[in-house]
Structure 1
Amino acid sequence: MNMRFFYTFLICFIFQFSYSKINNAPVDISYEQAILLAKKENKPILIMLYANWCPHCNTMKSTVLKEPKIVDFLSKNYIYIWKDVETEEGLKIKDKYKTQGLPTFLFLDANETVLYSIKGKMTSDVFMKEVNNALNPNLQLPYLKSQFLKDPSNATACLNYIQTLRKGVERTELAEPTHLYLATQTDKQLLSETNWRIIANGVSDITSREFQYVLKNRMEFEKLISVKRVDAKITNIVSELLQPYTLSLDTTAYFKNRLIAKTIFLENIQSLIFSYDLLIAERSSDWDFYKKITLEGTKKYFWDSDNKLKEIGQIYYKEISEPSALQSAILWVKRALEINNAADGNLLIARLYSKINDKKSAQFYAKNAQTITKEMGWDSSESDTFLKELNTK
């Protein structure tokens, strides 16, 4: 009975695998079965990790991964499977290999060693290049890592390893090899184009010796590299520092790291911190903090953005009741109207005036909003209704 069950299972498995190959589809087998098949056929495994809600995953599945030349190449060279990270098996694989971001493509050997990994949406040409690279032993991660570890002071070996590693992992995963190499360099040696590329690719710690050296010698790096690239690196590292805490709403960690970021006295960085402050205040519903930072920084950082000014004004209308603060919000929205005399801005300022009981000013701006919407042929019901409410007060 047991043998009959085993043979039945084996026949079904072989039929399923053959059917997938004939129809150019990923093989619908388990991770464990893929490993066994990889050993039997002496092929590497390619796992696509995806989720049905992921737009980049769906785009790849419906375009690039349907192209006959790509499907044919994958079926000939890999044990090729898809795993949904929302399933128990898919989540286990995601956790096992510590992957972030979707879609992720993991290239493994039969011993479950990661040979290569890439993530995100890409064109068919780029994808074909990467799946070819993943078959080349000299471009695979184990080889690149071994070459680097032979001589951690070798800049070329370090760069080759971390640039390939970065294709499939977060920047924080590059810290160990990056700092192992940079520890072999003096401060003066850091100021080179090659070392800049290593710093730009692999450094994510804002307090690190290398990043602090870049800050102290920013002008020299700008002359060597470019102002744009140096500014981009500084901006990215601040974003990488603060963004995770705004997303997780870890206000304690956010304010601790905000103190570190505030020591970078560059206007674009202070503006970036202001934006994150707004986000953390909104997500935590800390309207006292929101009021404090907007009163301090709105004119300085958002004075030329009508959309940002209106966004802040809308929050004040909904959440702030202090008359003097509302007067500030009115000034900000007036500035937005100077930039773009739009109907939504006029209606917003009318509501702000209404909130401080200035009925005459509220009516003036509500009528402006009504006129603009009618001239544009848009629906004016919102401004019509608000004017009726004002007239009944």
Structure 2
Amino acid sequence: MKIKLSFIFTLLALVLVANLSAQNKIQFDESGYQSVLQRSKKEHKPIFYMLYATWCAHCNKMKSEVFTDTLVVNFINKNFIPAWQDAEKGEGDFFKKKFGIRFYPTFLFLNEDGKELYNTSGEFKSDTFVSEAKNALVKEKQLVYLEQEFLADVSNSDKCLAYLSALNKGRDRTLLSPIAQQYLATQSESQLVSNTNWKIIANGVTDIQSREFQYVLTHQAAFEAVASPKRVQRKIENIVTELLTLPVEFRDTIDYTKKRMIAETIHTRKNDSLLFDFDIRIAEKTMNWKKYKAITQKSTDEFALKDAKTLKDIASNYLKHIADTASLKYAIRWTQQALTLSDTYDIQILLAKLYQKNKDYKEALEWANKAKAKNESLGWKTKDADDLLVELSQKQTSK
């Protein structure tokens, strides 16, 4: 009997320890969206979903430091059904499309019907994260409530802005546009220039050709007066960037050409410089070096002569992918200009290699030696210079 009682007490102790251990960490559900919804309905608790990527340092830090903190563990376990999803696997695409996720980590708070209550993204300290998560439990801060309030009076600028502000946390801005347009349709052009309307335009308008954005372009000074020149300029840059980023990332040259024609209707030097940057990016991504040459030789002097990094990047692509003598002379000149802006070992090596590729071995040797001397004087490694000097020595020997 004593043996049996001892066994029972041991078993109970093990169960107790296991339960305490489970309570001291967040048990993230990985069974999938529909399964988590069913749990939520059964347990009558809202859902906390983390969307992460394995390569994301911020995600990994949240997992290892914040979600092991007792303050966070107790709050999440008490108030939510916790779940997570690798955004690049399985149901990741579903989440990205449904909730407009752009950044990692993103934290979604959903009700038992899968409607979004609250969202936020980024890396937090434990106390700040709990403060954010508490917002998901406050009716007046929940998206469901803010949406109902807005739809009850779409001409109310404060309700529109409150709803947009709650939505606009690392989300694809195109999902906000229909909300902003619903409100802005109630405003005449003469009413658009106000501080609140500017905020709604800045947060929710994504269509360059829309009435509201075109009005900003033609009345820029008026909007600068209610916001600031810097904010208005940033909006102009952002709307072009948002328009062109996806076709560049997906290497879609047809869509890029169509959207670029829209973007180039903004006639400012800043916008022309932005288009130059996108033009060279898509030519590089599609490995269209003929196009790349044409763009850079036409516009680098106009838009990049004061930017050492851009000059270096362009010249590096010439070194790797372009061989004709005339083009290499452009790259050499741009690298020399980069050196006047930033006299570094890397740029000196780049210049030496460009001279080598252009068969000017005397200049190549001179710049390789300069690079070696620079790093030696600082006590830094000189391997690239040493390797290049060996190659150049062999070239001279073979003559």
Q: Could you tell me which residue of structure 1 aligns to residue 210 of structure 2?
A: 208
Deviation at 1:284, TM superposition (A): 0.8
How large is the RMSD of aligned CA atoms in angstroms? 2.5
Shift of 1:384: 2.2
The within-5 A match list for 1:177-188 is 177-188=179-190
Moved more, 136-145 or 266-275: 266-275
Structure 1 equivalent of residue 114 of structure 2: 112
1:229: which partner in 2?
A: 231
2:312 corresponds to: 310
Equivalent pairs, count: 380
Amino acid at match of 2:199: R
**Could you tell me which amino acid in structure 2 is paired with residue 22 of structure 1?**
Q
Cα pair 1:363 1:390 within 8 Å, conserved: no
Matched, 1:261 2:290: no
CA–CA distance in structure 2, aligned partners of residues 29 and 319 of structure 1 = 46
Query: Cα–Cα, structure 1 residues 173 and 20, in superposed 2: closer, same or farther, change >3 Å?
Result: farther
- Supply the AA of the counterpart residue of 2:141: L
3-state DSSP class of the match of 1:66?
Answer: coil
1:252-331 matched pairs, under 5 angstroms = 252-331=254-333
Deviation string, structure 1 residues 339-377 (Cα, Å, up to 9, x no partner): 233233233222322333333323322332232233333
CA separation of 1:156 and 1:346: change in aligned 2, threshold 3 A? same
Q: Give the superposition deviation at 1:189.
A: 0.8
Which piece of structure 1 moves more, 274-283 or 357-366? 357-366
8 Å CA contact 1:367, 1:383 repeated in 2: no
- Does the aligned pair in 1 maintain the 2:26–2:67 contact within 8 Å? no
Partner of 1:51: 53
From the superposition, tell whether residues 386 and 342 of structure 1 become closer, same or farther in structure 2 (CA, over 3 Å). farther
Does the C-alpha gap of structure 1 residues 219 and 89 become closer, same or farther in structure 2, counting only changes over 3 Å? closer
2:354, 2:364 within 8 Å by CA — same for their partners in 1? yes
C-alpha spacing 1:292/1:94, structure 2 compared with 1 (3 Å): closer
Q: Structure 2: how far apart are the matches of 1:234 and 1:37? A: 45
Give the Cα–Cα distance (whole angstroms) in 2 for the partners of residues 253 and 187 of structure 1.
31
| 1:24 equivalent in structure 2 | 25
Distance across 2 between alignment mates of 1:168 and 1:340: 35
- The residue aligned with 1:348 is 350
Aligned partner of 1:152 in structure 2 is: 154
- Compare 337-346 and 294-303 and name the one that shifted more: 337-346
Which stretch shows the higher mean deviation, 313-322 or 377-386?
377-386
Alignment deviations for residues 306-327 of structure 1 (CA, whole Å, 9 cap, x no partner): 2221221121122222322221
346-355 vs 248-257, which moves further: 346-355
Q: 1:79 to 1:275 in 2, by over 3 A?
A: same
Residues 117-176 of structure 1 show CA distances to partners (whole Å, capped at 9, x for unaligned) of 223323434422221111111211111111111111100110111111222631111011
List alignment gaps of at least 5 residues for structure 1: 1-13
C-alpha deviation, 1:214, in angstroms: 0.9
Note the C-alpha offset of 1:300: 1.7
Structure 1 contact 83–90 (Cα < 8 Å) conserved: yes
Structure 1 residues 361, 278: CA separation in 2 closer, same or farther (over 3 Å shift)? same
Q: Distance in 1 between matches of 2:166 and 2:222?
A: 28
- How far residue 185 of structure 1 moved from its aligned partner, in angstroms, is 0.6
Deviation string 1:152-211 (CA, Å, 9 cap, x unpaired) is 110011011111122263111101111000011111111110000001111111211111
> Within 5 Å, which residues of 2 pair with 1:67-146?
67-86=69-88, 88=90, 97=99, 99-146=101-148
**CA distance in structure 1 between the aligned counterparts of 2:188 and 2:276, rounded to whole angstroms:** 35
Q: Is the 8 A contact 1:20 1:28 kept in 2?
A: no
1:18–1:98: structure 2 CA closer, same or farther, 3 Å change rule? farther
Q: Secondary structure at the match of 1:117?
A: strand
**1:84 counterpart letter in structure 2:** D
d(CA) in 1 for partners of 2:79, 2:259? 47
Distance 1:92 1:19, change over 3 A: farther
The 8 Å contact of residues 100 and 170 in structure 1, kept in 2 or not, is answered as: yes
Give, in whole Å, the separation in 2 of the partners of 1:237 and 1:329: 32
Secondary structure of the structure 1 residue equivalent to 2:390: helix
Mean Cα deviation higher: 380-389 or 306-315 = 380-389
Structure 2: gaps of 5 or more residues: 1-14
Which segment drifts farther, 29-38 or 128-137? 29-38
Aligned match for 1:60, one of 59, 62, 66: 62
Relative to the length of structure 2, the TM-score reads: 0.87
Say which SS state the counterpart of residue 67 (structure 2) adopts: helix
Structure 1 counterpart of 2:251, from 234, 249, 252:
249
Alpha-carbon distance between aligned partners in 2 of 1:18 and 1:308, rounded to the nearest angstrom: 57
The one-letter code of the counterpart of 1:155 is S
Match of 2:392 among 374, 377, 387: 387
What code does the residue aligned with 1:275 have?
Answer: D
Normalised TM-score (structure 1): 0.88
Greater Cα offset, 361-370 or 197-206: 361-370
Contact 1:44-1:77 at 8 Å conserved across structures: yes
Q: 2:3 maps to what in 1?
A: none
The CA deviation string for residues 269-311 of structure 1, in whole angstroms up to 9 with x for no partner, is: 2222111111111111111111111112212221122222122
What is the alpha-carbon distance in structure 2 between the residues aligned to residue 203 and residue 20 of structure 1?
49
